[in-house]
């Protein structure tokens, strides 16, 4: 995308070099950004970790896509005039028909599957009647624009209506009374099907009265597939994300190298406000306790877990867990109420904020190790060199100096679980936002 | 309200796909007549050892097209952010650019 901007906006002839696994993604992005003739070539994947000699062989070699010399394509890309007919081949006005051609149940299930509109599990077909029943549970009009969504920063936003959200909610098997929660998730603009090679998934925490109104689970098995609302709201969030943003297809619009099982249902649950010793998550973020909200986290990949908060070595145990996390994804503590109360007993953390402060001060790593992580090199090191704090100060640390891994505002605590035991876990993830459900009733 | 199922057991279903953005065509910059004597910026997005790769591109020009002046520059920030200062600098001081290796 930078190459397109440099070429079209700044008038500098530009060639982009990508690795071959991004062929379809590059074609899609250049077309959707209005420059189907953008110049690019490909080298083999991966570049990361290769020696100078291996990288030179890439440069001296041929594109694994076209079979032509890489540098020949680079030079031609800078010198060969635009043919100007690429745009004519591109459809720029695309309207999405409201209805699918009528067919049998079996054929429609196959159509939805083959069009990559599902999560590869059977769906509930979104008939007019079912969609209307879903729409009856919001005051918003079916044709109202509910929001915009995209799979990552390099893709353009797609637009969607309230009715289109309802279609996806029906497909997921959601009950109509869940619809305001699903609409709030859609309108957040945060995708549960983000396209990143790191295979991230999303996590949703529901707070406020809506939890009990729709019988969500915040207790035993809350994060597992044992509650209809938890399961189908999470599934609806995934389906609406992929379908309303223009797809989530491996190799094309989804580049997660390994994929992520958390993405099947999106990790969706209610906070156990009744058994939590602390302020609930949405109140921490500026809402009233009587408000109903959804809080969205992305980047869910790494998880650490343990049992209890031991009297003698709890500090060491937690530090070990934090050091084992991906240094780029901040910790969100998901605590069973038993573990939450143990934290109060052991550390005197009578507020979530006090526990967060302790985590901030104790998640430490030698600077040399920290800066050598590939994700830190990709996403934090450039910001440090640009002068952004606190990263710029961390960059001045000697290699053996212990530095803080995370910022306090990146660390979060949520209480969930049914007190069958004091298990708890840390989810490495990035908090995005908390949004109102009530606005979508 | 019709249930969407007609007498032939055919079901009428709604489309789950959103509305695609309207694409605005963008012009390409005029291409160069040749690279001879030109200054080409090699732009490192600072992603997954991309700078090491561009170093090899620079060496290739030295070996095969020594009349081309190359300048290897890093983007000012994370590759996900726009970098207008660098683009303006390249526009003012260069004839072309190669960006890689990008997502």
Cβ B53–A3 below 8 Å, yes or no? no
Cβ A14–B99 below 8 Å, yes or no? yes
Residue A364 to residue A401: CA distance in whole angstroms: 10
C-alpha distances in angstroms, A300 versus A262, A263, A326, A408? Answer: 8, 9, 11, 18
Closest residue, chain A, to B52 (C-alpha): A52
Cβ A10–B87 below 8 Å, yes or no? yes
Closest residue, chain A, to B93 (C-alpha): A12
Complex ipTM value: 0.88
Arithmetic mean of pLDDT, B30-50: 91
Give me the numbers of helices (H) and strands (E) for chain B, helices first please.
Answer: 2, 3
Closest residue, chain B, to A161 (C-alpha): B18
Cβ A13–B6 below 8 Å, yes or no? no
Considering only residues 155 to 214 of chain A, which have any Cβ-Cβ distance to chain B shorter than 8 Å? 156-160, 163-164, 167-168, 171, 197
Q: Are residues A404 and A364 in contact, defined by beta-carbon separation less than 8 angstroms? A: yes
Chain B hits for A97, CB-CB cut-off 8 Å, are 15
Chain B hits for A16, CB-CB cut-off 8 Å, are 98-100, 102
Q: Is the pLDDT of residue B3 over 60?
A: no
Arithmetic mean of pLDDT, B74-102: 90
Cβ B31–A35 below 8 Å, yes or no? no
Chain A hits for B95, CB-CB cut-off 8 Å, are 12-13
Cβ B12–A100 below 8 Å, yes or no? yes
3-state class (DSSP) for residue B72: strand
Considering its fold, how many domains does chain B have in total? 1
Report H helices in chain B.
50-64, 84-93
* Shortest CA gap A93–chain B (Å): 6
Task: Tell me, yes or no, whether B5 lies in a domain.
Answer: no
Residue B96, H or E segment: strand B96-102
Is the preceding omega at residue B101 within 30 degrees of 0, hence cis? yes
* Shortest CA gap B95–chain A (Å): 7
Cβ B46–A378 below 8 Å, yes or no? yes
Mutate to test the interface with B, among A8, A76, A102 (most CBs of B within 10 A): A102
| Average pLDDT in chain B | 88
Percent of chain B exceeding pLDDT 90 equals: 62
Chain B hits for A127, CB-CB cut-off 8 Å, are 3-5, 11-14
Q: What is the largest CA-CA distance in chain A?
A: 73
Tokens 């160069």 found at: B32
Cβ B87–A108 below 8 Å, yes or no? no
Q: Are residues A296 and A436 in contact, defined by beta-carbon separation less than 8 angstroms? A: no
Chain B hits for A6, CB-CB cut-off 8 Å, are 43, 87, 90, 97, 99
Between B81 and A189, the more confident residue is A189
Query: What is the Cα A98 distance to its own chain's centre?
Result: 28
3-state class (DSSP) for residue B61: helix
Tokens 């690019």 found at: A40
Write down the pLDDT at residue A89: 46
Write down the pLDDT at residue A108: 97
Task: Tell me, yes or no, whether B29 lies in a domain.
Answer: no
Write down the pLDDT at residue B5: 58
Cβ B18–A245 below 8 Å, yes or no? yes
Write down the pLDDT at residue A327: 87
Closest residue, chain A, to B83 (C-alpha): A2
Write down the pLDDT at residue B1: 43
Q: How sure is the predictor about B4, in pLDDT bands with cuts at 50, 70 and 90?
A: low
Q: How sure is the predictor about B81, in pLDDT bands with cuts at 50, 70 and 90?
A: confident
Q: Please state whether the predicted TM-score (pTM) of the whole model is above 0.80.
A: yes
Task: Tell me, yes or no, whether B53 lies in a domain.
Answer: yes
| Domain residue limits, chain A | 2-89, 105-363+407-440, 366-404
Mutate to test the interface with A, among B18, B25, B79 (most CBs of A within 10 A): B18
Closest residue, chain B, to A2 (C-alpha): B82
CB-nearest to A244 from B18, B57, B75 is B18
Chain B hits for A3, CB-CB cut-off 8 Å, are 97, 99, 102
Cβ B25–A2 below 8 Å, yes or no? no
C-alpha distances in angstroms, A114 versus A117, A121, A248, B25? Answer: 8, 12, 13, 30
Chain A hits for B97, CB-CB cut-off 8 Å, are 3, 6, 12-15
| pLDDT < 50 stretches in chain A | 86-87, 89-92
At a CB cut-off of 8 Å and minimum separation 6, what does A232 contact?
A172, A173, A174, A175, A178
Copy the structure tokens of residue B94: 């260069």
Arithmetic mean of pLDDT, B30-58: 91
Q: Are residues A412 and A357 in contact, defined by beta-carbon separation less than 8 angstroms? A: no
A72/B contact by beta carbon, under 8 A: no
- Tens of pLDDT, residue by residue over A193-237, are 998 888 999 999 999 999 999 999 999 999 999 999 999 999 999
Q: Which domain holds residue B80?
A: 39-99
């Amino acid at each position: 995308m930078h190459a397109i901007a440099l070429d079209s906006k700044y008038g500098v002839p530009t060639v982009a070099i990508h690795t071959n696994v991004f062929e379809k993604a590059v074609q899609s992005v250049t077309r959707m950004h209005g420059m189907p003739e953008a110049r690019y070539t490909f080298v083999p994947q991966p570049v990361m970790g290769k020696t100078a000699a291996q990288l030179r062989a890439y440069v001296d070699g041929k594109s694994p896509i076209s079979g032509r010399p890489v540098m020949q394509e680079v030079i031609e890309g800078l010198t060969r005039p635009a043919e100007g007919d690429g745009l004519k081949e591109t459809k720029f006005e695309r309207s999405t028909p409201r209805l699918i051609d009528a067919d049998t149940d079996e054929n429609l299930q196959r159509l939805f599957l083959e069009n990559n509109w599902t999560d590869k599990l059977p769906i509930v077909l979104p008939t007019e009647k079912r969609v209307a029943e879903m729409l009856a549970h919001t005051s918003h009009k079916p044709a109202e624009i509910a929001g915009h969504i995209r799979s990552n920063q390099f893709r353009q936003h797609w637009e969607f209506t309230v009715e289109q959200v309802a279609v996806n909610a029906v497909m997921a098997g959601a009950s109509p009374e869940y619809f305001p929660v699903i609409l709030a998730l859609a309108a957040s603009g945060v995708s549960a099907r983000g396209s990143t090679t790191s295979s991230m998934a999303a996590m949703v925490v529901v707070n406020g009265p809506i939890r009990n109104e729709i019988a969500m689970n915040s207790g035993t098995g809350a994060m597992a597939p044992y509650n209809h609302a938890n399961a189908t709201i999470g599934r609806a969030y995934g389906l609406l994300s992929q379908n309303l943003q223009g797809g989530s297809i491996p190799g094309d619009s989804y580049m997660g190298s390994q994929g992520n099982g958390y993405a099947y249902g999106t990790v969706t649950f209610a906070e156990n406000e009744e058994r939590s010793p602390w302020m609930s998550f949405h109140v921490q973020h500026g809402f009233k306790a009587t408000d109903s909200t959804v809080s969205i986290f992305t980047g869910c990949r790494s998880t650490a877990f343990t049992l209890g908060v031991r009297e003698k070595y709890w500090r060491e145990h937690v530090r070990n867990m934090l050091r084992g996390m991906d240094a780029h994804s901040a910790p969100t503590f998901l605590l069973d109420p038993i573990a939450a109360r143990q934290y109060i007993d052991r550390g005197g953390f009578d507020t979530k904020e006090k526990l967060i402060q302790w985590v901030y001060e104790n998640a430490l790593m030698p600077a040399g190790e920290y800066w050598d992580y590939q994700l830190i090199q990709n996403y934090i090191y450039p910001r440090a060199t640009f002068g952004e704090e606190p990263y710029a100060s961390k960059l001045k640390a000697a290699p053996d100096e212990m530095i803080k891994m995370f910022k306090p505002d990146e660390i979060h605590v949520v209480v969930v679980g049914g007190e069958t035991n004091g298990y708890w876990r840390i989810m490495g993830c990035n908090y995005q936002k908390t949004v109102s459900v009530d606005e979508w009733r | 309200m019709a249930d969407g199922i007609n007498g032939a057991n055919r079901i009428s279903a709604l489309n789950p796909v959103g509305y695609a953005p309207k694409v605005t065509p963008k012009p390409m910059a005029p291409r160069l007549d040749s690279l001879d004597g030109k200054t080409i910026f090699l732009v490192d997005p600072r992603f997954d050892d991309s700078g090491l790769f561009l170093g090899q591109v620079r060496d290739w020009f030295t070996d095969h097209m020594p009349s081309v002046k190359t300048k290897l520059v890093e983007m000012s920030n994370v590759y996900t952010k726009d970098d207008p200062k660098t683009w303006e600098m390249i526009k003012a001081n260069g004839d072309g650019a190669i960006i890689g290796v990008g997502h």
